[in-house]
Structure formats: structure tokens, C-alpha cells
Structure 1
Amino acid sequence: VDMYPSEGGLSAIIRDVSEKKENERKIKEFIERFTLISQASNDAIWDWNLLTEERYWGEGFNTLFEEEISGIRYSHDLWLERIHPEDRELVQNTLSQVIEDPKESFFQVEYRLMRKEKGFFYLIDRGIIKRDEHGKAIRMVGAIQNISSRKAYEESMKILNKELLESNRELEAINKELEQFAFVASHDLQEPIRMISSFLGLIEKKYSPLLDETGKKYIHFAIDGARRMRTVILDLLEFSRAGNISEEKKWVKTNSLVEEVLKFLAKDIQDKQATIHVGNLPDICCHANAMIQVFQNLISNGLKYQLPDHKPEIWIEGQKEPGEWKFSIRDNGIGIEEIYLEKIFVIFQRLHQKDQYSGSGIGLSICKKIVEYHQGKIWVESTPGKGSTFYFTIKQ
């Protein structure tokens, strides 16, 4: 209400200021919200009027600069002075470029800010640019966030990755040396073993009339031991070769690989009157010969580890899953006790006597090596007396 003197008394003008009061209330509420958000986020909010050079620095600047500097300012010299000397030119150039380029509407830069006492911390500075109808920058609003914790984490991850990379290189070198040793040792040992076997055979043949039963038994044990030693050496040779796959990866029809394996095992399948069920297997990209060896070892195990007079039945399935192909070979054999489910993949680990089931205990360790070479994994689930299911994956 405005009142002023007039003839015969006072005159008054009454104006409705409801809209004005509502706008003032909204502005006050907005400022309060803006302040609370600034405090809650610990970000340093800034507002720069490029026409008047007036700058508003929020309360977060007090935390960053470790002194009371928030409020209205007409220069950003204090901010520039505290930027790390190595980063200052980058920040100034980035800021100038985005202001001068009419196509730019966003500003972002990372830099280090010197502490008041000692040291520095990392910041990320982001802002939105408002332009007039001619594309000239007239205002910028943004926030500065302390990212020192993130930078420290990134740096620790870099160090850790570097150490892991170095450890992997050392492991690869050691593995190659071990594989080379196994190859050379097994190759060089074959000739002496062959010679021992040959001469023992000659002794048995030539001097058999002069030997009593005990002597003949000893020679038989020696020949059998030499034969088993040669088998172990050949298995070592095969195991060392499993990690040195020279063939290129290629796309193959897995059903064709399995069909090839079943042809190779045809006599065993016929002798044991086994039934093999092969599902619709996915095509995969792999080292074909190595993958044939995996299927051959797993299927032959399903045929071998059966109760006497029991007809084997084997199911081969496969499917495509996110990032990998997954296969399973299930049998109705003797099964495996739970405590041995991991042990069976260790080289030369056998769960049965040689007179029960033949083999040297190397097949599954070769499967594991080949599968891991394809960046997959292999495992087994089993119920004693009912059968086992071997699973393995191949990375796509």
C-alpha cells in the first residue's frame, strides 16, 4: 500500500504483490537448496559472469583452499596461483579454447591444486557455458570435485597391474622352462629305457635255460618296470606338448570333431556295446586337434570306468552361453567320491589300481591344460555308483 497527501485528505494505491512475494520465496528456496546441495556434495560450486567478470565461489572453496574465500570475487588469480605449475598452462588453454569456440557448451579438466601447507590434491573441474545469440560466452556455471581418493586408487591399481603383469611373465617363463625340461628329459630318457628293455629281453631269451623261476621272475619284473617307465616318459612328453599348440584357431563344427573321435573309439564302443548320444553341438573357434584330444579323453573315460558287464551309456551336450561355449559329457559309470573331484585333474593321480582300470592318470590333466589354454575351465559333478558329468567351457 502506497499513501500520499491529496486534496481533502490522503490518497492510497493498493497493489497486489502476491506474485512478487511468491517469486521472492521461490528464489530464496532455490538459493537455500543450492547451498544445501553444495554442502552435501562437498563440491566447490562456481558461477562466472563473463560480461561483468563477477565470480561467485560457493562454500566448498573454503574446504578446497583451506581458508575463507567463498563469496563474490572479480578475479580468479588466487585459483590460478594454487594450480600446480605443471598443470596451469593446460587448464588456461582448455578454458580459453572452450570459451572462444562457439560450438562448445561444456568445460572439463583435471588438475592438481597446491595445498596451503604442503603437497597437493587432484581435482576435476566441470562447467556449462551459456552463450548469447551470436555464440559469445556470457556465463559459466560449474563445480570442482576432489578426486584424490579416486586417483590414489587408480595409481594403486596401475602398480598392482604392473606387478601382476611382471608375475605373469615370470610364470610364463618358468612354465616354458618346465615344459622344455619335460620334453628334453622325456625325449633323452627314451633311448636308455629302450636299451634296458632290449638287453633284458635278450638275456631272457639267451639265458632262459640257465635261469631258475626266481631269476625269470626278476627279469620279467625288470622288463615290465622298464615298459611302464617308457609309458610314463611318453605321457610326460604328451603333457609337455599339450601346452605348445602350434596350429591356428579356426571355426569348426563340434559335431564333426566328436564324430571323428567316435570313429577312433569305434572298437571300444562295439566291444563294450556302448550307446553314445550326441546332441546338437554349437560350432566353435578353437584349436581343432587339441579339442579332439579333450573329447577323446573324456569319452574314453566314460567307456573305461564302468562296472563289469555293465553297458556304458554316454550323453554329449553343448550350448552357447554369454561369452563362452559350454559342453558336458555324462556317463552311467562308477562315479567319483566327492573328495577326489579336484584331485583327478592333477597329473599322474589315479584313484584305482592298474589291474582294475588301465591308464597312467594323465588324460584329465591334459584336458585341463588344453581347456585352460582356450581360457576356459573344466570340472566334474558325480554320484558314486550312478555316473559322472564332466563340464568344460571354451571362451568365445
Structure 2
Amino acid sequence: MSQSILLIEDSRAQLKAVSAILRSEDFQITSAASLREAVACLEYTSFDCILLDLSLPDSDGLDTLRSVRSKARSAPLIVLTSTDDPLQVAEALKEGAQDYLIKGRIDGELLKRSIRYGIDRARTQEMVRQSEEKFRLLVESARDYAIFMLDTEGNILTWSAGAERITGYSGEEILGKNLSIFYPQSAVDRGEPQHGLREAVLKGRYEDEGWRKRKDGTRYWVSFINTPLFDQEGNLRGYARIARDTTEKRIAEETLRQRIVLEQKMVLVDLLQAVTIAINLAPTVEDAVATLLKEVCTHTKWSVGCGNIVDTESKGECQVSKVWYFPEGFKISADDSVLRERLISGVGIAGKSWASGAPVWLDDIATDDSALCVWLSKHQGLKSGLAVPVYEGMRLFAIVEFFAAAGEKPDAPFLEVMANIGKQLTAIVERKRLEQMLAKEMQNLSRSNAELQEFAKIAAHDLQEPLKSVQGFVDLLKRRYSDQLGDDGKRFIAFIDDAVVRMEELIRGVLSHSKIRSQEKRFERTDLNEVIQKVKDNLSVSIEQTGAIIKCDDLPVIVADSLQMVQLFQNLIANAMKFREPETTPEIYISWRNQGGDYQFCVKDNGIGMDSRYLNKIFGMFSRLNAKTEYPGTGIGLAICKKIVEHHGGVIWAESQLGKGSEMCFLLPDESRR
């Protein structure tokens, strides 16, 4: 394609000579003999190059250059003149001339070379300009990206609309500032901004992400790339930085991560609950360990579990009882020597866990020195293994092992759950041992109680026989020798009669006391109003003799042993009538109230009362606070009351002050809580 040349020259000879040179190169030449003609040409036509003589009929010197340059700013302009003035040469070049040639000192090749260079350079500059314009438009339109330039020290040289939108800083506010203005102070203290620039120079580019701060102080998550820029000599002249605000993506990822973590924690919580419940229900220690292995493998990625329960430990070696869990369909093709491998300190993941006292994880069990691990890897396709020690106090109780096809390392929450499961297991093991000891003690206690009750029955029966003989001989003495005994003899005989009667009452009381717990529980719906009426009938003679006034609330119907309820209320009411001041009419009030679903009963009297220091002693066997000559009795009545109440799962207590009466209270639980 021919290139257009505007030749501004007023000399016809010079115009002819130059035209002859240029036509040989297929240049298309347009001539102008004056500035006015040149301006007219430039108004309607663009040229690839302009050759200008500074001395024209209507213009002279640099003014000619300025006038032409104002009309053709992008075309290369070559001064072709007779004036050889160094100052004018310098000024011409300063005003935008591409070259300055002296007529008569140039040849055709020099002129053509200068024109080609000017045209090529102008085209290159135009391409650069267009490229820069495209880049500028790209930068301005990229609102989701901050694209800007930095100098060698990290100071900001250019700014963009995207950068302003992301950071909140305008160009006037940020230009000249260091990029560390976007970093948190802790990151600045660690030297992160400069580190990113150094790494970019070393590696050709540097990518990273992190939290940054906006002008208003809020945080945003940014992903960025630093690219170093070099000049033609390879010297660093700055950096290009492209950053993107990915806060929403970061928040979404963090939310997802937290949800996954929460779900994992829920799985682990379910695991802990399931294991705790299951091993609590296990009848033996071996069953508890087997349940632990099954629940862990069911709830997690682990496929196979092995529990090494320590039987004996000596010199770095443990004799263990192994408990296995294999998933359904798992084919075992190993001999007993592998599945019953001993536990040696430092050998295998179980041995290493024992030696270190901490969990041990191995991502490739094929490299382990345990025959079991090698077999699981080679024949069962398992890859990773985990061993967790379980201690009972300071003693190694067991080591549980888990194996899986995946090589994912167990995280801290899982290990924490395993530690808690280990604690639960040892607690349950200890509890089961205590339960076994308690069961044995209860058997011994039950046997002792049975023997004691049997002894009480036999002793009471055997004691009654001599008493009958004593009573018989006393009656015989009174009938045959009554006239010969005298007053003292008769008084002694009366003492013997009284002692025999009291002894018989004591024996009956002991028998009644011993029978309460040994009797089969005959609990049934019992109307306590009917019980009180039965008691009044039984005590009718005493009530009539003392003139006792008995008031009673409308009592409830409860599930109880009706005969024992009669005995309980009868003993309490009889005591209330017995322990009174002489010539005082007994007043007895029986009340009740609902106490959180339980039944609280009280029998209150206006009797002699008692010192509060003795309230805890009155329910003991043969306990008496008064002389038997003043208030007869065996001292067993309240002990029987206490045993009846306890037989029903309740408690009994007394409230009293000396001389102000007493109140005997007892609490019977609802039948659903007995």
C-alpha cells in the first residue's frame, strides 16, 4: 500500500528533486507551496508523513512548524530546510519534529530512511496509544476488580473505579500512599505487604488472599496478584496489582465450613451419646468395648475396630483380651497369630500409643512393624490406622484401634470425643466393678438379715417358754401360799408378775419389728379414714378412760399395706394419749398435705413434749426418755413406726418442745416413685 506524503516546499527545483527521489519508492506525494495551502490540505486529508520547509512565503521559522503541528498532531513531521542553526534544530525537535534535515547535505537514501522510520514510529505509537486506551477502558469498566500500578516501593501510582468502589478511597486520597494502608496493623508488623512484592520479583508473580480494611474501617476479603514490571534493560520499574473483593464468597465458604463442622460435631455428639448409652447397657466389660467399637465404626469412616483389654502388664509387654468389630460381609482369612497378636510397647500403632501415652495415627499401615497392620493393608485393603489409649486412673485399661481405607487424619474434635468415650468406658467399668461388689455385699447382708430374723424368731420363741414356766410357778405360789407370803412376799410376787408381763411385751415387740421387712409387700389401695376408724375401735377403752379428743382431716386413699398403716397410726395415737400431764385431757389432731406429689402426715398432741436434744434418739430400739414407772411401755413402738414408714419408702421425724406437746410427722412417696 502506497504511503501519502505532504511536501511543503516553495522552491520548484527543490520540490522537483525531492519528488523524483520519493516516487521511486511508490510514495504518493501532495505538494503545498505555502503555509496556507498546507493548512488547506490538512483540513481535509490525513497524511502518513509531512516534509516541511521552515521558510515559506507566508510563514517563517518555528512558527511554520507550530502551525503545521497544530493541524497534524499524529503524523510524523520531518523538517527539510536550508537553515543550519543548532538552536533552531533543538527547538524544532522539542516542538515535535521527527527529524531535522539540511538541504544539500542529504541523499535520497537518508531521506527515505528517515520517512520510513517516522511512519513506523508513528504507527507503533498509535498502536501503543490504542492499547493503552483499551487497557484504560478495561480498567475503568472492571468495577469488581481493583487494578492499579505501584512503584518499586509499593506506593500507588494509578487508581481505578473498581479500586475506589472496593476500598472506598478516591484517587486524590490514595495516590502516592503505600499499599500497606489496606493491611491490618498486625499484617503490616509481620511485613506482609513488602513480602508480597519481593516474592513477585523472585517468582514472576505472587498470588495471595486475606483480610484487608476499607477507608471506613470495615473488613473485606481480597484475592490479589502482584506482577513485577521491568524496563528494556531488565530493571524493576514497578508492579501491576489486580485485586478482587471476594468477601461474599469467603463468607459463603466460611458459612459452609461452619455448617460442615457443626454437622460433624453433631455426628460426634450423637456418637458420644450412642456409645455412652450402649456401653451403660452392656452386661460385661468385653461387651462394653465391643459396643464402643461398633458405635464408633458405624458413626464414622472407620471400618474395622479392635479393642485390646489389658489383662496383665509386665516388662514392656501386655497380655490382652482382644475384642473385634468387623463390618457385615468382611471376610477374615488370617490365622490366630495375627488376630491374637500380643501388645508390645513401641511395636505397632497400639504399642506406640502405649509407649507414648497418647493417640497415634498412621496414614499408611503397610509401613508399620506390626503383623496385624501389614495383614490388614495387604489382604483387607485398609490404609490408615488410629490407636487410642484408655486409662483407668494411672493404669492402662485398654487400647482401642480403628482402621479405614481412607487416609484422612483424625481431627481434634474426634480425638476429644474419643478421649471422652475412654473416660466414659473406664467410669462404667469401675461402676460395674462396684456394682458387682455391692451385689455381693447385698447378698451377704440379705443372708445376715435373714439369719438375724430367724434368730429373733427362735430366740423369742425360746424366751417365751421360760417365761411361761415362771408365770406358772408364780400363779401356783399365789394360789397355794397366798396366806403365808405376808405383805412383802405379795409385793415381790407383784414385781415378778409385772416383769413377766413387760418381758412378754418386749418379746412380742421384737417379733413385730423383725417381721416388718420380712413380710411380703401387700400394698393395695387403702382408705386412711377407714384406718383411723379401725384404730379408734382398737383403742376405744383407752380413749374412753382418758377422754381423749381426736380430730382428723379428710385423709386420702393411698397405696399401702393397710395392716401396717393401722399399726403405725395406732402406735402414734397411743403414745399421744399416754405421754400427757395428769388430769389433762389428750387432744390429738391428725393432718395431711400434698408435698410435691408425696403424702405428708402429722399426729399432733398437747402432751408433755420432749427436749429437742433427744428427737433423733426416740426412734431407736428400746429407746425411753421417761421412767417406766411413770409411763409404762417397751420403747419399741416408735422403732416399729420408723420401720413401717421406711418399708413404704418414706421418712419419719418428730418436732417437739418440752411441756408444749409433740408432733410426729412422716412422708410417704407416691407409689410411682417407690
Same fold, TM-score > 0.5, yes or no:
yes
Q: Distance in 1 between matches of 2:329 and 2:455?
A: 58
* Alignment-mate amino acid for residue 244 of structure 1: S
- 1:99 alignment counterpart: none
SS in 1 for 2:143: coil
- 1:254 alignment counterpart: 528
Measured after TM superposition, the shift of residue 29 of structure 1 is 5.4
Say if 2:389 is the partner of 1:120: yes
Measured after TM superposition, the shift of residue 364 of structure 1 is 0.6
SS in 1 for 2:134: strand
Q: Map 1:152-163 onto structure 2 (within 5 A).
A: 152-163=426-437
- 2:142 alignment counterpart: 15
With over 3 angstroms needed to count, the CA separation of the structure-2 counterparts of 1:276 and 1:222, relative to structure 1, is closer
How big is each residue's C-alpha offset from its partner over 1:350-378, in whole Å with a ceiling of 9 and x where there is no partner? 11112211211111111111111111111
- 1:70 alignment counterpart: none
With over 3 angstroms needed to count, the CA separation of the structure-2 counterparts of 1:305 and 1:6, relative to structure 1, is farther
Measured after TM superposition, the shift of residue 156 of structure 1 is 1.7
How big is each residue's C-alpha offset from its partner over 1:220-278, in whole Å with a ceiling of 9 and x where there is no partner? 43333333222222222222223333462111111111122122223322332222221
With over 3 angstroms needed to count, the CA separation of the structure-2 counterparts of 1:210 and 1:384, relative to structure 1, is closer
- 1:235 alignment counterpart: 509
With over 3 angstroms needed to count, the CA separation of the structure-2 counterparts of 1:212 and 1:279, relative to structure 1, is closer
SS in 1 for 2:602: strand
* Alignment-mate amino acid for residue 270 of structure 1: E
Q: Distance in 2 between matches of 1:343 and 1:153?
A: 39
- Which runs of 5 or more structure 1 residues have no equivalent in the other structure? 45-75, 96-112, 126-140
- 1:129 alignment counterpart: none
With over 3 angstroms needed to count, the CA separation of the structure-2 counterparts of 1:231 and 1:340, relative to structure 1, is same
Measured after TM superposition, the shift of residue 301 of structure 1 is 1.1
* Alignment-mate amino acid for residue 326 of structure 1: Q
Q: Distance in 1 between matches of 2:440 and 2:638?
A: 30
Say if 2:323 is the partner of 1:86: yes
Say if 2:546 is the partner of 1:272: yes
* Alignment-mate amino acid for residue 190 of structure 1: Q
Q: Distance in 2 between matches of 1:175 and 1:28?
A: 70
Q: Map 1:140-159 onto structure 2 (within 5 A).
A: 144=414, 145-146=417-418, 147-159=421-433
Q: Does the 8 A contact of 1:282 with 1:319 survive in 2?
A: no
Q: Map 1:90-101 onto structure 2 (within 5 A).
A: 92-93=327-328
- 1:171 alignment counterpart: 445
With over 3 angstroms needed to count, the CA separation of the structure-2 counterparts of 1:188 and 1:9, relative to structure 1, is closer
Q: Distance in 2 between matches of 1:224 and 1:258?
A: 31
Measured after TM superposition, the shift of residue 208 of structure 1 is 3.5
- Tell me the C-alpha RMSD between the 2 structures: 3.8
Q: Distance in 2 between matches of 1:257 and 1:226?
A: 32
Q: Distance in 2 between matches of 1:282 and 1:167?
A: 39
* Alignment-mate amino acid for residue 347 of structure 1: M
Q: Distance in 1 between matches of 2:142 and 2:433?
A: 71
Measured after TM superposition, the shift of residue 290 of structure 1 is 0.7
Q: Distance in 1 between matches of 2:628 and 2:588?
A: 23
* Alignment-mate amino acid for residue 247 of structure 2: E
Q: Distance in 2 between matches of 1:333 and 1:214?
A: 36
Of 159-168 and 9-18, more deviation after overlay is shown by 9-18
Q: Map 1:56-71 onto structure 2 (within 5 A).
A: none
Q: Distance in 2 between matches of 1:279 and 1:94?
A: 71
Q: Distance in 1 between matches of 2:501 and 2:631?
A: 17
* Alignment-mate amino acid for residue 574 of structure 2: S
Measured after TM superposition, the shift of residue 345 of structure 1 is 0.7
With over 3 angstroms needed to count, the CA separation of the structure-2 counterparts of 1:26 and 1:6, relative to structure 1, is farther
How big is each residue's C-alpha offset from its partner over 1:155-193, in whole Å with a ceiling of 9 and x where there is no partner? 222222222232222222212221221112112221221
- Which runs of 5 or more structure 2 residues have no equivalent in the other structure? 1-126, 145-165, 167-243, 270-299, 308-321, 331-348, 355-387, 391-398, 403-410
Q: Map 1:203-218 onto structure 2 (within 5 A).
A: 203-218=477-492
Q: Does the 8 A contact of 2:599 with 2:668 survive in 1?
A: yes
Measured after TM superposition, the shift of residue 30 of structure 1 is 5.4
* Alignment-mate amino acid for residue 454 of structure 2: Q
- 1:48 alignment counterpart: none
Q: Does the 8 A contact of 2:599 with 2:667 survive in 1?
A: yes
How big is each residue's C-alpha offset from its partner over 1:29-85, in whole Å with a ceiling of 9 and x where there is no partner? 5599799999x9xx89xxxxxxxxxxxxxxxxxxxxxxxxxxxxxxx99x6577547
Q: Does the 8 A contact of 1:329 with 1:391 survive in 2?
A: yes
How big is each residue's C-alpha offset from its partner over 1:122-171, in whole Å with a ceiling of 9 and x where there is no partner? 88x9xxxxxxxxxxxxxxx9952122112222222222222223222222
SS in 2 for 1:343: coil
SS in 2 for 1:117: helix
Q: Does the 8 A contact of 1:302 with 1:314 survive in 2?
A: yes
Measured after TM superposition, the shift of residue 318 of structure 1 is 2.0
Measured after TM superposition, the shift of residue 25 of structure 1 is 3.9
Measured after TM superposition, the shift of residue 324 of structure 1 is 2.9
Q: Map 1:354-373 onto structure 2 (within 5 A).
A: 354-373=628-647
TM-score, with length taken from structure 1: 0.71
SS in 2 for 1:255: helix
Q: Does the 8 A contact of 1:82 with 1:115 survive in 2?
A: no
Q: Does the 8 A contact of 2:502 with 2:634 survive in 1?
A: no
Q: Does the 8 A contact of 1:197 with 1:227 survive in 2?
A: no
- 2:557 alignment counterpart: 283
With over 3 angstroms needed to count, the CA separation of the structure-2 counterparts of 1:198 and 1:388, relative to structure 1, is same
Measured after TM superposition, the shift of residue 216 of structure 1 is 4.0
* Alignment-mate amino acid for residue 23 of structure 1: E
Of 153-162 and 190-199, more deviation after overlay is shown by 153-162
How big is each residue's C-alpha offset from its partner over 1:5-45, in whole Å with a ceiling of 9 and x where there is no partner? 7736431323333695212442675599799999x9xx89x
SS in 2 for 1:243: helix
Counterpart selection for 1:306 from 580, 600, 608: 580
SS in 1 for 2:133: strand
* Alignment-mate amino acid for residue 10 of structure 1: E
Q: Does the 8 A contact of 1:82 with 1:114 survive in 2?
A: no
Say if 2:664 is the partner of 1:390: yes
Q: Does the 8 A contact of 2:353 with 2:389 survive in 1?
A: no
Measured after TM superposition, the shift of residue 116 of structure 1 is 3.0
SS in 2 for 1:389: strand
Runs of 4 or more consecutive aligned structure 1 residues displaced over 6 Å after TM superposition:
31-38
- 1:26 alignment counterpart: 251
Q: Does the 8 A contact of 2:524 with 2:562 survive in 1?
A: yes
Report how many aligned residue pairs link the two structures.
325
Q: Map 1:32-51 onto structure 2 (within 5 A).
A: none
Q: Map 1:176-187 onto structure 2 (within 5 A).
A: 176-187=450-461
* Alignment-mate amino acid for residue 316 of structure 1: I
Q: Distance in 2 between matches of 1:9 and 1:344?
A: 109
Q: Distance in 1 between matches of 2:615 and 2:592?
A: 21
Q: Distance in 2 between matches of 1:264 and 1:82?
A: 71
Q: Distance in 1 between matches of 2:351 and 2:654?
A: 59
